[in-house]
Amino acid sequence: MSRPATPSSLFARKIALALLVPLLGAAPIARAQDAIRPSLAGEQAAEARRQSIDKIPYNLQLGPMKFRFSATMGIEYNDNINLAEDGSALIPSPTGPILVTTMPQSDIILRPQVNIDALWPITQLNTLKLDLGVGYAIYLDHSSYNTTGVLIQPGSQLAFDIFVSDFRINLHDRFSLEQDPVAEVALSNVADYGRFQNTAGISVLWDLNKAVVTLGYDHYNFISTNSVFDYLDRNADIVSGSIGFTPTSTMTVGIEGSIVNTSYDQNILNDSVNYSVGGFLETQLTSYLKLRVAGGYQMINFDNTGLVNDAHDLNDYYANVLLSHRVNSVLTQNISAGHETQLGVNSNYVKLNYVRHTANWNILYHTLLSTELFYEDADDSGGSGILFAPVPGVPNINPFVAEHIHRYGGAVTVGYQLTPHVTLGLRYQYTQKDSDQPLRDYRQNRVGFDGTYSF
């Protein structure tokens, strides 16, 4: 008689299935180019990419394959790892109001990590590339939050570029395994938002000189590593495309669109189909100033069969603007703002308005100072019918109800090149969330220090 599968073995099987999905996905919008110019997908483009790759400081070569290895050891103090406020409130329940008290938890976290970048130029035009960052989180006071397996950094990927005539084909598999809940605007009272995300796909860029056409397909998997969030496990099929025209040497205008079909493993949140179509403009205003603007219509239809009982469909606009500015040799900055809608963790969707500013300051020799500021205004579509408790034993702290959110904060990072092989980093980050629902506000301060050795 066979034994029942353990949770860890079931999770391993889910990860394996996600990684075995055929490689298919969407391409980025091409940037403005001269009206008469070399093809973005031709041999000159492939040769330019090869020359840029040759300049990357890889530290090991085995035949044609190049590798770059580095190791990082970080230590962080976080005064609110569970995104909680210090307060009490009467929370409704089927048996009557219950007094619930929440309290922030602080901890010191050790974060070792190994980074591997590999490059294999299979032919002069076609290149296979691997970027992988694998780490671990060790909580000194709350060991129950320690990473159960490993953490895989966002940006990890396996990619293969193929250049054929005026076509550039990109096969890719992009994956991450994260735990930090602060990235999700709707979450509160959660310390471990463990999730594995995998996007596998193909994108094709066709350069017609006066126009650039892109078309792609991706298959996306979301697998929770925390049983509390198993109801979020899902997969999605994504078809996207764009066509951009270059009326001048410094401007690209075009249209873009996508269709996303999302299916959940459990019947709690609603399956959906997301349609979006719009236009974009990219222009080099000056030698130091670049602008990208995009906007259009977005519609999400939900099947309304999930237990969340959220019957809200979406008919809305999307818009975003990005201004990149190189002020001088010391300062570069990016300013972005937008309105978008994303799938919710407690409801059908969350509408999000945001403003973000990032800047890099090259003030001192061998030292880079970076600053970040952001503001977010979000509306959760809400629902009813389920009492949901992400904190075991604490009922109904995070019910499926509509929520209005303000969140803002910023960060300061200093990097210093100590030796040719050693880089030191110091970072402070502040995040504050204000909610119209009880016990869902929080303030979080994080201070981290790390050292990286490049072999």
pTM: 0.85
- Band of residue 386 on the pLDDT scale cut at 50, 70, 90: very low
The SS3 of residue 141 is: coil
- Domain positions in the chain are 7-454
pLDDT in tens, 223-269: 999 999 999 999 999 999 999 999 988 999 999 999 999 999 999 99
234-248 and 211-224 strand pairing:
antiparallel
Question: 98-131 b/e with 16+ CB inside 10 Å = b?
Answer: eebebebbebebebebebebbbbbeeebebbbbb
CB atoms closer than 10 angstroms to residue 62: 9
| DSSP character string of 226-293 | SGGGGGG-EEEEEEEEEEEEEEETTEEEEEEEEEEEEEESSSSSPPEEEEEEEEEEEEE-SSSEEEEE
Q: Tell me the C-alpha to C-alpha distance, in Å, between residue 398 and each of 37, 44, 388, 390, 411.
A: 55, 55, 6, 7, 28
Query: Would the pLDDT of 317 be above 50?
Result: yes
pLDDT in tens, 113-154: 999 999 998 887 788 999 999 999 999 999 999 998 899 999
Q: Does domain 7-454 have CATH number 3.40.50?
A: no
Query: Would the pLDDT of 422 be above 60?
Result: yes
Q: Identify whether the C-beta of residue 182 lies closer than 8 Å to the C-beta of residue 4.
A: no
Q: Identify whether the C-beta of residue 179 lies closer than 8 Å to the C-beta of residue 228.
A: no
Phi, psi (5° rounding) for residue 304? 55, 35
In DSSP terms, 131 is beta-bridged to 117, 157
Query: Would the pLDDT of 453 be above 80?
Result: yes
For range 354-359, the mean pLDDT: 98
- Band of residue 45 on the pLDDT scale cut at 50, 70, 90: low
Looking at residue 346, its pLDDT comes to: 85
Give the residue from 318, 409, 416 showing the smallest Cα distance to 357.
409
